[in-house]
Amino acid sequence: MTALSERGLDAGDSARYWRAPRYGGLECLAARFFSHRYAPHTHDTYVVGAIVAGCETFVLRGERRYGRPGDLCFVHPGDVHDGEPYGDGYAYRMSYPSVDLLREIACELTGRETCATPFFPEPVVNDPDGTARFVAAHKGLGGSDLLYSDERFVSVMAMILSRHARLGDPAPVGTERGPVRRAQDYLDAHYAESIDLPTLAGVAGVSRFHLIRAFRKETGLTPYAWLADRRIKAARGLLAGGRTPGAVALDCGFADQSHLTRAFKARVGVTPARFRAAALDIAGQDAA
């Protein structure tokens, strides 16, 4: 961020920076550069990101590297590196997780109480699936639906650590009916509220990553999918009773009416407005 503010951006270059407070002020950057060149610098955090278009080149550990679409890139705290376009420019999405944050997720992944500092032996790896999942999670960071963004971020960072920091497969998940039931009950009781993954994991009594996997194993849904389903069930009843979609969206925990419409149509097959009209029409016929 200092490099961007000191050197500025040339015409055509663009960069958006934000923080995700729930992860210790995790810094995030989405940028497209055609001419911007970073001077050699270091970070106190990791750099974990994905190239989405074009090609970036940078020197790291004495070698010139190239990142292309479908590539994940990693820089360790204290590693000197630069960065510039190769060819016609590039676009990327970057996150800057702290050492403590990656250690936490590594411990959740392996099931250990303490973990060594994660190390990525290859600064650039081609992983189209991992890139797509990282980009989707990165777009959700800072969004209003906390559980949705938390699930995606924790899951993709655990996957990246498993694959590319060579931490191995996740610890096995056994029968977790008690923790999952506590999480289900909490979601059912608080579906209209903003719920984040750390809070839900605390209620369940297990780690964030373990809860996601155990919940899916027990129910077939992730915690967020369960929450969305619970909200839609409540919305159906309110709409059938005559409440407007806008009012129902607020009452059921959706960000706005368009959020309700997308979720409702994905699960019911029609928009909330059409469902409401049909329900009121049936009610009118019954009354007649």
Q: What is the CATH number of the domain that holds 16?
A: 2.60.120.280
97, 45 Cβ separation under 8 angstroms? yes
**Residue 172 in domain:** no
Statement to judge: residues 58 and 73 lie in one domain: yes
Report yes or no on 63 lying in a domain. yes
| Residue 243, domain CATH | 1.10.10.60
Going from the C-alpha of 125 to that of each of 49, 128, 163, 222, the distances in angstroms are: 11, 9, 10, 28
In which region does residue 111 sit, left (phi positive, over 0), alpha (psi from -120 to 50) or beta (all else)?
A: left
Looking at the fold, whether 70 and 132 belong to one and the same domain comes out as yes
Enumerate the β-bridge partners of residue 59: 64
Whether 146 and 182 share a structural domain: no
| Residue 170 falls inside a structural domain | no
Q: Return the pLDDT at 23.
A: 87
- Spatial contact of 156 and 130, defined as CB atoms under 8 Å apart: yes
Contacts of 215 (CB under 8 A, 6+ apart): 180, 183, 221, 222, 223, 226
73 plus 160 within the same structural domain:
yes
Residue 171 counted as domain residue: no
Same domain, 145 and 207: no
48 and 140 inside one domain: yes
Which residues constitute the domain of residue 202?
177-220
Query: Is residue 108 located within the same domain as residue 199?
Result: no
Q: Is residue 274 part of a domain?
A: yes
pLDDT at 169: 84
**What per-residue confidence (pLDDT) applies to 11?**
65
The verdict on residue 169 lying in a domain is: no
Q: Which residues of the chain have pLDDT under 50?
A: 6
Tally the domains of the chain: 3
Contact 76, 122 (CB under 8 A): no
**Tokens 């959740």, residue?**
108
Query: Looking at the structure, do residues 129 and 158 belong to the same domain, yes or no?
Result: yes
* pLDDT reported for residue 143: 78
8 A C-beta contact, residue 187 and residue 232: no
126: in domain: yes
Query: For position 37, what pLDDT does the model report?
Result: 93
Residue 83 included in any domain: yes
**Greatest C-alpha distance within the chain:** 82
Choose the final residue of a domain: 164, 196, 212.
Answer: 164
pLDDT score at 6: 43
Q: Are residues 158 and 15 in the same domain?
A: yes
Q: Are 42 and 157 in the same domain? A: yes
51 & 88 share domain: yes
CA distance 273 to 264: 10
73 and 155 share one domain: yes
